[in-house]
A and B are shown apart, each in its own frame.
Chain A
Amino acid sequence: MNKLGCIFLIDDDYPTNYFHRIIIEEVDCAEEIVICQSGQEALSQLTDRMELGQPTPDLIFLDINMPGMTGWEFLERYQNLPTKAHGKVLVVLTTSLNPDDEKKAHLLDGVDGFRRKPLSGEMLTDLMQEYF
């Protein structure tokens, strides 16, 4: 299994990010893990990286239910960013059990996958196999 360059975790919940980092480190599938605690932070990180010529993320995990800017709102702004600022694969990772959210995610441009939290080692290797 190839090791990815960079994974973005976009989630407002600290323990969730903490746990997901542990899982990613255990699977050892990324050189760099960037944690963004809001959509705004993620947008500026992505813009900065593009401007500084740093590699864009290979994989972005995006939470939906966030205060301030929801995952859906983030996706609108994300679509307006230059393509070279985009990550390679974006997966919506949510606690939502509402089937409507899953339908909506599949209809949106820029969303490659939909998974339910928590992230597990198994889920991560599946995603690696599916997209990389």
Chain B
Amino acid sequence: LTGYIRTSPLQLPVFAREKVKPPYELRGFLEESVEKTASDHAYFLLWVVGLLLFASNFHPNSGLALRYMKFSLPVFVQPLLLDSLAEAVIFTDPAYLIRGWNPAAESVYGWKAEEVIGKRIDQVLPTEYVDSSREEVLEKFRKDHKWKGEVIQQTKQGIPLYIRSSVAEVKNEAGELIGLIAINQDATQEKAHAAEVEKYRRELEELVIERTQSLQDRIAEVEALNEQLTRLNQELEQFAFIASHDLQEPLITVRSFAHLLQRKYGIGSVVDEAAIRNLEFIQGGVEQMSQMVAGLMTFSRIGSNLSFIFLDLEVVVKGVLEELKDQIQESQAEIQIDDLPIVWGDQDGIHLLLKDLISNALKFHSPNRHPEIYVFAQEREQEWKIGVQDQGIGIEAIHLKKIFSLFFRVHNRRAFAGIGIGLARCKKVIGHHKGSIGVTSVPGRGSLFWFTLQKKK
């Protein structure tokens, strides 16, 4: 009944609420049902049902079906009462023989009124209870004289229907049972729809769970790989550190004893030119290896003692130029420094980086001109781009990819001294700053080395 009130599209006029009261025992049941909604429909329905029962009271044992009774009702009520209701309304006598069967019942169950009037209800509509057993329902009905719930019934064609049913006892003024009234709403489609929605929801949920799981698996996989990579990197750095440390000792031994030999057989002693030259090679080799070992040491230590602060790059560059002042004077370099920003970085790392880039620019200048170096900054949305531009010898395109690799050198040692560690070091420093580094170069015209640094912490 409540369902009817909620869903019926009928717009019914309101009849005197106060004057018309539903009679008989049904009153309590109906009032309880409508109290919650307090809608005008409900009062009207009370009135209609009251009228019905009043009419039936004239023929308590006559077995007259509601269908017939409707003729005795006021004319305006007739279409509203039985024909317009969306719910199947079924009336039985106390022996469960069907006495009333409205058009909605016909269309819901497929049985014509003529076919079912006078038959036992359970023969026409075999009923299963959805949420409780038959015994429980009967028990409840005996106690309350009414029952509301969900049932499954079959049409004439044997198609199961999902029905919301309200059943109540009907008594006359003398309190005698005169029958039962059932108001049944076909909720099959609604239920099927809900089941379908539920099915999709479950499928979606399963899919989401599945995808989430596979995503989590992937994340775990990536995390494991990352961890492995980090560990390998640490091991590698540890290895480089220990190797550079331990290689130092035999190198020093070779250097020391080569030195002793040189003193004995070298300049100012009995001359053996070949021996002197050979000793020089030994010492040259040892010297080079010492530099490489020392370079490896500094390279492996980058990142082990980071401390990030806000750095004034102008101050850093000035410090670098101070350290390089001998080379600057010697090469008569012209160095121009633009306004440089304050960046978030590790002071030692950034100092090393700028020193490597500027000393490279000093070193690789064209033979016939003095070095000209321009240091500048470009502001971007998230970061600063810092450039070190020279007018030097430039770099061939084929070398550009490898130029940041450890121990990679473009030139031989006679042309330009060095061990090929500076740019590798720069790249590592920038890596720890989560920035990037690169170069554009035109051979014979010069190179532009640039790197980026984040603006914020």
A96 interface residue (CB < 8 Å to B): yes
What are 24 A-to-B residue pairs whose CB atoms are below 8 Å?
A13-B249, A13-B253, A15-B253, A15-B256, A16-B249, A19-B256, A19-B257, A65-B245, A65-B246, A65-B249, A95-B245, A95-B248, A95-B249, A95-B252, A96-B245, A96-B248, A97-B244, A97-B248, A97-B294, A97-B297, A98-B241, A100-B305, A117-B252, A118-B252
Task: Name the residue among B244, B252, B260, B301 with the largest chain A CB count within 10 angstroms.
Answer: B252
Report the bound CA distance from A95 to B253 in whole Å: 10
A81 interface residue (CB < 8 Å to B): no
B residues in contact with A15, CB < 8 Å: 253, 256-257
Report the bound CA distance from A13 to B241 in whole Å: 20
For window 1-37 of A, CB contacts with B under 8 Å fall at 13, 15-16, 19, 22
Report the bound CA distance from A15 to B256 in whole Å: 9
B residues in contact with A16, CB < 8 Å: 249, 252-253, 256
**By DSSP majority rule, is chain A's interface helix, strand, loop, or mixed?**
loop
**By DSSP majority rule, is chain B's interface helix, strand, loop, or mixed?**
helix
In chain A, what residue has the closest Cβ to B293? Answer: A97
B residues in contact with A22, CB < 8 Å: 260
For window 286-316 of B, CB contacts with A under 8 Å fall at 293-294, 297-298, 301, 305
4 closest A-B pairs by beta carbon, nearest first, are: A95-B248, A118-B256, A15-B253, A19-B256
Q: Check B297–A98 contact: CB distance below 8 A.
A: yes
For window 56-99 of A, CB contacts with B under 8 Å fall at 65, 95-98
A residues in contact with B298, CB < 8 Å: 97
In chain B, what residue has the closest Cβ to A14? Answer: B253
Beta-carbon contacts of B254-284 to A below 8 Å, as 1s and 0s? 0111001000000000000000000000000
B residues in contact with A19, CB < 8 Å: 253, 256-257, 260
In chain A, what residue has the closest Cβ to B263? Answer: A26
Given the interface pairs A19-B260, A22-B260, A98-B297, the reply to whether A118 lies near B255 with Cβ below 8 Å is: yes
In chain B, what residue has the closest Cβ to A99? Answer: B301
For window 87-123 of A, CB contacts with B under 8 Å fall at 95-98, 100, 117-118
Report the bound CA distance from A98 to B246 in whole Å: 12
Report the bound CA distance from A79 to B357 in whole Å: 46
Report the bound CA distance from A13 to B293 in whole Å: 19
A115 nearest CB across to chain B (Å): 12
A-B contact count (CB 8 A): 40
B residues in contact with A117, CB < 8 Å: 249, 252
In chain B, what residue has the closest Cβ to A15? Answer: B253
Given the interface pairs A13-B249, A65-B246, the reply to whether A98 lies near B256 with Cβ below 8 Å is: no
In chain B, what residue has the closest Cβ to A95? Answer: B248
A residues in contact with B305, CB < 8 Å: 100
A92 nearest CB across to chain B (Å): 15
Given contacts A65-B245, A95-B248, A97-B248, 19 further A-B contacts (CB under 8 A): A13-B253, A15-B253, A16-B252, A16-B253, A19-B260, A22-B260, A65-B246, A65-B249, A95-B245, A95-B249, A95-B252, A97-B244, A97-B245, A97-B297, A98-B241, A98-B245, A117-B249, A118-B252, A118-B256
A residues in contact with B297, CB < 8 Å: 97-98
A74 nearest CB across to chain B (Å): 17
B residues in contact with A98, CB < 8 Å: 241, 245, 297, 301
Report the bound CA distance from A40 to B186 in whole Å: 99
A residues in contact with B249, CB < 8 Å: 13, 16, 65, 95, 117
B238 nearest CB across to chain A (Å): 13
A22 nearest CB across to chain B (Å): 7
Beta-carbon contacts of B304-348 to A below 8 Å, as 1s and 0s? 010000000000000000000000000000000000000000000
A residues in contact with B260, CB < 8 Å: 19, 22
A residues in contact with B241, CB < 8 Å: 98
B364 nearest CB across to chain A (Å): 26
B245 nearest CB across to chain A (Å): 6
In chain B, what residue has the closest Cβ to A16? Answer: B253
A residues in contact with B253, CB < 8 Å: 13, 15-16, 19
In chain B, what residue has the closest Cβ to A101? Answer: B245
Report the bound CA distance from A13 to B255 in whole Å: 15
Report the bound CA distance from A98 to B294 in whole Å: 9
B residues in contact with A13, CB < 8 Å: 249, 253
Report the bound CA distance from A88 to B365 in whole Å: 53
In chain A, what residue has the closest Cβ to B249? Answer: A95
Report the bound CA distance from A96 to B294 in whole Å: 10
B residues in contact with A97, CB < 8 Å: 244-245, 248, 293-294, 297-298
Report the bound CA distance from A15 to B257 in whole Å: 9
In chain B, what residue has the closest Cβ to A12? Answer: B249
For window 231-246 of B, CB contacts with A under 8 Å fall at 241, 244-246
A residues in contact with B256, CB < 8 Å: 15-16, 19, 118
